[in-house]
Structure 1
Amino acid sequence: MSEKGPENEPVETPEQAQEQAQGPESTDVRVDAPAATDTDRSPDAARWHTALREITTGNALVAVLSVVLAMFFGSLLILFTDADVRYALSYFFARPYDTFYYAWEAISGAYVSLWRGAVYNDLGGTFIQQIKPITETLKFAAPLTLAGLGIGLTFRAGLFNIGGRGQMLLGGAAAAYVAVTLDLPMIVHLPLAILAGALAAALWGGIAGLLKALTGAHEVIVTIMLNYVGYYLVFYALTRESLLQAPGSGNPKSAPMPDSAVLPSLLGPQFNLHAGFLLAVLATFLVWWILNRSSLGYRFRAVGENPAAARAAGINVGVAYLSAFMISGALVGLAAVNQVLGSVTDGVTSGLDAGIGFDAITVALLGRSRPFGILAAGILFGAFKAGGFFMQASEGIPVDIVLVIQSLIVLFLAAPPLVKAIFRLPSKEA
């Protein structure tokens, strides 16, 4: 019991002072926070998860500056591959102006030709030739966006889907099988082929989600292995006439897609842009709604932030993993549908993915796993692809320079502190 002081104020006894110094007892710990000894994540797994979340959901400014840095270093590569610049460097101290002149000509010529090949060709003789580059960019952007949406959705759920190639192969093969084996009106045939492609890829992606949910198998290893399994399954199907191989052909290739199962052209036969781009835009709005307006998206984001806390809140983490991978696979399958049923396709081969399954990872990273960011990143990478070919044809610059720029973007995206240090941006601690 407290004693009274000279001014009738309670005076703490030594025992009470000791209790106050020691702080509250351990029984006052909040029960809604996950325990530190939770077995959901080992220290290494927790660090990996934190790093993945930092990379995939970081500052949009860092993403833009990563592109700027990649373009800068790409310019240096252009200089080193230009014969005139290398020759001018041999007498730099005698006439330094020549080096700067040829350097400017090389860099400006490269990026102007990139613009003309990707956005607007002011040298085109007709209006159609002038605007055709932007339609080519959108054509290339469609599958990149669709696959990027799938990869980005798993990022938001705290997962890493590197199985885009296998999912595209299975989805494309299923869409092609429905397209070439059935004879139906277009109003039924085309939607059925699209659905088959999305469903097959969803089931293939679901394998990784199921193994993750039931056994804790690491999704990176599982999806990489499934890429190989998917490739050889599709290759086998393309060598059997009873499955996908074109009748009378000795090559691993399917027959051309029938007109009733081909995505219609958007701007007429003079352009290669087809309805696959509209499919990508619709998918962008759908994924945005799932992630930001649905309870399923809330569960994905909760699991992505902290599976232990999500489980404590009553969320079935295993079901969330499975659902995320199946939806992701369906989106990647739509990218394959875009490739197989596009209006310029002439059949399916084992290379139908065209590297899109891996490029989509970069698109998702650049878009910070946000649907509209992924759409913008897909258009940017579509511009790189469309403009790269024109740049090589008009300026003689290797198209591999574009691949290097894309790789550098990934490098800088994976190292936000480096980008912030170069541009002297404030860190979170500051």
Structure 2
Amino acid sequence: MLRQIVGGDVVISFLAVVIALVVGGVLIAFADEEVSKTVSYVFARPTDFLGACWEAVSEAYKALFRGAIFDYQADTLNRQIRPITESMTFAIPLILAGLGIAVGFRAGLFNIGAQGQIIVGGIIAAYMGFAFDLPVLLHLLLCVVGGALGGALWGFIPGILKARTGANEVIVTIMLNWIAVSLVAYVLTLGKFNASGTGLRSPQIGPNAAYPRLIPDFLVPDNTFRLHWGFVVAILATLFVWWLLERSTIGFEIRAAGANPHAARTAGMSVGRITILTMVIAGGLAGLAATSQVLVTGGSLTAGVAATYGFDAITVALLGRSRPLGTFLAGLLFGAFQSGGTLMQSVTATPIDIVFVVQSVIVLLIAAPPLVRAIFRLPDPDAQPKRDRAATKEAAA
């Protein structure tokens, strides 16, 4: 049991983050001007060099913490707790799109098309947001469902091609990403989408179509919090995916097809149907991610509606081990990196690219658990069962 815990996925993920932060600290030290001034006499006065390194790294990570969790230097409570709400806001599309990627991974499918699914979901959600004028709850619900259906439609295409023709879902989803990029650029030049005549931005959505702020104005004076009810949608989506994968018949079929499609087919499951259904669900979750970008106060559709969330979601799903809770926590972590990285750059002049390096190192280490175990000399939880089976076979022989 101890071997399973120490060498398990949770410990490996945590240590991967620790190593990535150490690597980021080394890069911060090398990029700092004060550290570079002490390099010339590192052997004569090593304490000055080490002190400069510590100062650079500690100040950068303090700024990262202040920008992501709690700004203890701010003068009001509103400003002190605002960073964590910003991290949660940035995390919403990462969590939702990451859940879509995770569902695909559990079915043995590499859904690289979250970027395109977000874009198409954003197109539908934005259109319903500015083209209709409905009561508050109804209008918002219609837009959210429309965004999910748009992403599901874009996920259905690679699903049906994979199921009926055996087309590689990686290639198909990547190509659909580029089609979606061109599609949104074209849509913004059409009719109601191009009301401004610039072809760069659609009209703003109606006030009844926007997610209400999660912290209402009457609770907080001078309310500047951007966190909205999309975060609640992300929590509900996480619970739904957990129920789907762990408690439903469909989830059992998804996991069975992902573990061994030949065995699933032999057991009477329709792997083609599972493939289509999985891609539709994955696309729907990615479409929901678009609503957190479009359905905000004063929100509208732009060509950059997806930003890089579709690709970042792959990292989130990998770090979360394709588990709903893990993906949710990984989304929060990367949302914190995104929120805190801006303040870290402005306060300490540390390049924000270092944050991207930290994220990349995390993915590298998550993809190579034996490397993390080798660094920390952790046991392999699968090694003992293998030795037990080998011993049993020898005894039987």
| TM-score, L = length of structure 2 | 0.91
Please, which of 327, 333, 355 is the counterpart of residue 402 of structure 1?
355
Please, which of 332, 335, 349 is the counterpart of residue 379 of structure 1?
332
Match of 2:259 in 1: 305
Contact 1:110 1:395 in 2 (8 A): yes
Shift of 1:296: 0.4
Contact 2:196 2:202 in 1 (8 A): no
Matched, 1:261 2:215: no
Shift of 1:186: 1.4
Please, which of 127, 133, 136 is the counterpart of residue 183 of structure 1?
133
Please, which of 377, 389, 404 is the counterpart of residue 342 of structure 2?
389
Match of 1:284 in 2: 238
Matched, 1:115 2:65: yes
Q: Which moved more, 1:250-259 or 1:156-165?
A: 250-259
Q: Which moved more, 1:312-321 or 1:413-422?
A: 413-422
Please, which of 354, 366, 375 is the counterpart of residue 319 of structure 2?
366
Q: Secondary structure at the match of 1:244?
A: helix
For 2:263 and 2:299, locate their aligned partners in 1 and report how far apart those are by CA, in whole Å: 50
Contact 1:117 1:386 in 2 (8 A): yes
For 1:248 and 1:81, locate their aligned partners in 2 and report how far apart those are by CA, in whole Å: 44
The one-letter code sitting in structure 1 at the alignment partner of 2:211 is: L
Contact 1:239 1:253 in 2 (8 A): no
For 1:251 and 1:328, locate their aligned partners in 2 and report how far apart those are by CA, in whole Å: 30
Percentage identity across aligned positions?
51
Shift of 1:243: 4.6
Shift of 1:90: 1.1
Please, which of 95, 117, 125 is the counterpart of residue 167 of structure 1?
117
Q: Which moved more, 1:416-425 or 1:136-145?
A: 416-425
Matches within 5 A, 1:324-343: 324-343=278-297
Q: Which moved more, 1:252-261 or 1:315-324?
A: 252-261
Shift of 1:249: 2.5
Write the deviation string for residues 63-118 of structure 1: whole angstroms up to 9, x where unpaired: 11111111111111101100001110111122111101110001111111111111
Contact 1:74 1:401 in 2 (8 A): yes
Matched, 1:147 2:97: yes
The one-letter code sitting in structure 2 at the alignment partner of 1:204 is: W
Match of 1:89 in 2: 39
Match of 1:293 in 2: 247
Shift of 1:59: 1.9
Write the deviation string for residues 42-70 of structure 1: whole angstroms up to 9, x where unpaired: xxxxxxxxxxxxxxxx7222211111111
Shift of 1:267: 0.9
Matched, 1:61 2:8: no
Matches within 5 A, 1:193-232: 193-232=143-182
Match of 2:82 in 1: 132
Match of 1:244 in 2: 193
Match of 2:387 in 1: none
The one-letter code sitting in structure 2 at the alignment partner of 1:248 is: S
Q: Secondary structure at the match of 2:91?
A: helix
Larger radius of gyration: 1
Q: Secondary structure at the match of 2:360?
A: helix
For 1:348 and 1:166, locate their aligned partners in 2 and report how far apart those are by CA, in whole Å: 14
RMSD over equivalenced CA pairs, Å = 1.1
For 2:254 and 2:339, locate their aligned partners in 1 and report how far apart those are by CA, in whole Å: 34
For 1:211 and 1:353, locate their aligned partners in 2 and report how far apart those are by CA, in whole Å: 24
For 1:66 and 1:124, locate their aligned partners in 2 and report how far apart those are by CA, in whole Å: 32
Write the deviation string for residues 281-313 of structure 1: whole angstroms up to 9, x where unpaired: 010001000001100000000000000000001
Shift of 1:183: 1.4
Contact 2:101 2:313 in 1 (8 A): yes
Matched, 1:315 2:265: no
Shift of 1:354: 1.2
Contact 2:92 2:289 in 1 (8 A): yes
Where do 5+ consecutive residues of structure 2 fail to align? 1-7, 217-222, 385-397
Contact 1:178 1:196 in 2 (8 A): yes
Q: Secondary structure at the match of 2:178?
A: helix
Shift of 1:417: 1.5
Write the deviation string for residues 157-204 of structure 1: whole angstroms up to 9, x where unpaired: 011110011000000010001111111111211110111110011011
Q: Secondary structure at the match of 2:346?
A: helix
Contact 2:317 2:327 in 1 (8 A): yes
Contact 1:291 1:301 in 2 (8 A): yes
Contact 2:196 2:203 in 1 (8 A): no
Aligned residues: 370
The one-letter code sitting in structure 2 at the alignment partner of 1:338 is: S
Where does structure 1 differ by over 3 angstroms across 4 or more consecutive aligned residues? none
Shift of 1:239: 1.3
For 1:323 and 1:243, locate their aligned partners in 2 and report how far apart those are by CA, in whole Å: 33
For 1:161 and 1:108, locate their aligned partners in 2 and report how far apart those are by CA, in whole Å: 38
Where do 5+ consecutive residues of structure 1 fail to align? 1-57
Please, which of 6, 26, 33 is the counterpart of residue 76 of structure 1?
26
For 2:312 and 2:23, locate their aligned partners in 1 and report how far apart those are by CA, in whole Å: 20
Contact 1:237 1:243 in 2 (8 A): no
Contact 1:163 1:205 in 2 (8 A): yes
